[in-house]
A and B are shown apart, each in its own frame.
Chain A
Amino acid sequence: MNLNRYASPSIFYPLAGRLVPVFAALAAALAAAGLYIGFFVAPTDFQQGEGYRIIFIHVPAAWMSMFIYLVMAFWSAIGLAWNTRLSFMMTRALAPTGALFTFLALWTGAFWGKPMWGAWWVWDARLTSELILLFLYMGYMALQAAIDDPRRADRAGALLNLVGVVNVPIIYFSVVWWNTLHQGASVSLTRAPSMAQTMLWGMLVMALAAWFYTLAVAFARVRTLILAREQRAQWVRQMEHEA
């Protein structure tokens, strides 16, 4: 079977339609299992009490926020190299979810920071670079929204993503370095206390749930993008006719 044929929007559309409910169901089941482990199985942390349990949302959200940016850059590169329309649509469909997870990571981080450090926000290197990542997502989405011509929007966004992915490590290290210069060791996130096995499992299950959620919403979004862009194509009209 040639997987390349799924790069065609008309073939990918029905496939995505079948996969969305599967991924959504998997995401719901995994989230239920992960939350159960997080709330009832994982032991209370002896330093942080019950408050640490936000980790089961916070860490998967932070992972996904960075991972989705990389996936977007990957599809951008594929799209620019092989001129595949579906790659650009994938990039575009992923951006809002990436921004959502970045925001979620920052928000839950603030809720976690208040009881633990006594502050909603500290200019820690990780927080700062996550905030800049949110700006990068916003810049991408603003650029997409400002361009009416889909072809130009695709390519301009892809180029911006590639420039971004080169810059992300530079930004990250500059922020880490700035942080060590300006701030004492009052807050240390890197000192990871040995984590109970069940906590780790809870986090991993939640991360998988976030993964499937991302797949489900990205595919659903890609389907609407395909319909919007291919509305004049023969197969869309035929489908409309049958419905």
Chain B
Amino acid sequence: MLSFVYTIVRREIVLATRRRGDWLTAQFFFVIVASLFPLGIGAEPETLRAIGPGVVWVAALLAALLSLDRLFADDHRDGALEQLMLAPYPHALLAFGKALAHWIVSGLPLIVIAPVLGLQFDLPPAALLALVASLALGTPVLSLLGSIGAALTLGLRGGGVLLALLILPFYVPVLIFGTGAIGGVLAGTGAEANLSLLGALLALTLLLAPWACAQALNVSLE
């Protein structure tokens, strides 16, 4: 069972390293979107500090979405997905492995880049720590929830935009708790409450999302 998940994750990582261009696009998108906001709003340090957490988080949501519509699409097109579904393991494991790989490939780099973006927005070190912690708890939720949407929209016309329409409303709690953690540090009330809620959300999606994604794959490939 574990070796199945490991194989899927390893395969995705190998594929990502072979196609470095695709992989880097989402990361640069994240950096560019976050850098556009000061240009549009103005560079006063107080304003930047106020909008910083939200901007970085919204950019992270969009960057996660950007790579999600490819999560199953390439494998679907060359038939690999159907072979994977024929493997003698529960489909939920496949869904979990795919979501985990998506997080490693597109979520982890965001966590590494985010503190640098935080510096652009003049966030103090404690807030940067909260930013990293909230992204570490929140981005897996984005990958897991997004995998459901990716499975539902598999092979549909206008898949990418449709995926955004389906999934973004479900990202609202992650956005609220994630920015809330950083806001709590800035306001002096601490980040623990929001980080705990994010952790609870992660536990819940870990439990339910792979199963829902497996059902969605069954529906889409029937």
Chain A residues engaging chain B, CB cutoff 8 angstroms? 132, 135-136, 138-139, 142-143, 146-147, 151-152, 155-156, 159-160, 162-164, 166-167, 170-171, 174-175, 177-178, 181
Contacts and interface: CB of A to CB of B under 8 A. Distances in A.
A151 B212 contact: no
A139 B173 contact: no
A146 B153 contact: yes
Contacts of A138: 165
B222 interface: yes
9 contacts: A136-B169, A139-B166, A142-B166, A143-B152, A143-B153, A155-B222, A163-B148, A170-B173, A171-B173
Contacts of B153: 143, 146
Contacts of B148: 159, 163
B80 interface: no
B213 to A, nearest CB: 10
Given A138-B165, A146-B156, A175 B176 contact: yes
B158 A155 contact: no
Contacts of A160: 152, 166
B201 A170 contact: yes
B161 to A, nearest CB: 9
A155 B152 CA distance: 10
Q: How large is the interface on B (under 10, 10 to 19, 20 to 34, 35 or more residues)?
A: 20 to 34
Nearest to A151: B222
Given A155-B219, A156-B152, A166-B208, A177 B169 contact: no
A224 to B, nearest CB: 24
B219 A135 contact: no
A156 B220 contact: yes
A91 to B, nearest CB: 14
Given A152-B220, A156-B152, A132 B172 contact: yes
Contacts of B169: 132, 135-136, 139, 167, 171
B92 to A, nearest CB: 14
Interface in B154-199: 156-159, 162, 165-166, 168-170, 172-173, 176-177, 180, 183, 197
B180 A181 contact: yes
Residue with the greatest number of chain A CB neighbours at <10 A, chosen from B157, B169, B212, B216: B169
Given A139-B169, A181-B183, A156 B219 contact: yes
A186 B87 CA distance: 58
Contacts, number: 71
A151 B218 CA distance: 12
A40 to B, nearest CB: 41
A177 B222 contact: no
A162 B204 CA distance: 15
Contacts of A170: 173, 201, 204
B215 interface: yes
A146 B177 contact: no
Contacts of A151: 222
A167 B222 CA distance: 26
B199 to A, nearest CB: 14
Contacts of A174: 172-173, 176-177, 197
A177 B156 CA distance: 36
Contact of A163 (B183, B197, B212): B212
Contacts of B222: 151-152, 155
Nearest to A149: B222
Contacts of A178: 176, 180
B181 to A, nearest CB: 11
Given A152-B219, A174-B173, 12 more contacts: A135-B168, A136-B169, A143-B162, A146-B156, A151-B222, A152-B222, A156-B152, A156-B220, A160-B152, A174-B176, A175-B172, A177-B176
A181 B166 CA distance: 27
Contacts of B165: 135, 138-139, 142
